[in-house]
Amino acid sequence: MTGTGASGARSAVEWLVSVAPDPDACRWEWERNPHGVALLPAGRRWDVLILPAELGYPTLDVLTRLVDRPGPVLADFGDARTGFFVPPGTATRWLGTGVRGAGAGTWIVVPYPGRATGGVRWLVAPDGAGTLTDAALLEMAMHEAAGHIGRAGGGS
């Protein structure tokens, strides 16, 4: 699901570093950080909604049935959480139990697109065109995923 060609990875890199205070320093960090990650500010081109993995993975499954390609999605170290890239401003308006938002004034750990890292990884890599997951669609997918989880665990 993370597959992007070489030119797609370059476009994704340019899209991601466009939010960095110093894009060259960001590229340098990706090259030299032993984990292959850099810190990028949220809230400029995207916010990130962070779900616990037990909801995040099923939500991604629902999303991929609803749209050809959702926006970028990250999995953190240990696969404990998933982060969905959504339009800027979403994090400040989001009301959801158990969902954390990274928006203006926050930073997230981002791996280089198209490269395997030892920790944070792309479940869906950025496409370079700025595709984001629509927040209303994400909410609908979360509700459907939670319903499936509840039915599977509730014995009904």
Greater confidence (115 vs 134) lies with 134
| 4 pLDDT more than 70 | no
Looking at the chain, list the stretches that DSSP marks H as alpha helix, in order from N- to C-terminal side.
6-17, 23-32, 53-66, 90-93, 135-154
> Environment class of residue 7 by beta-carbon count within 10 Å: exposed (0-12), middle (13-18) or buried (19+)?
exposed
Q: Give the tens place of pLDDT for each residue, 41-93.
A: 999 999 999 999 999 999 999 999 999 899 999 998 888 999 999 999 999 99
Q: What is the pTM of this model?
A: 0.89
Cα–Cα distance for residue pair 42/126, rounded to 1 Å: 14
Q: Give the tens place of pLDDT for each residue, 12-26.
A: 999 999 999 999 999
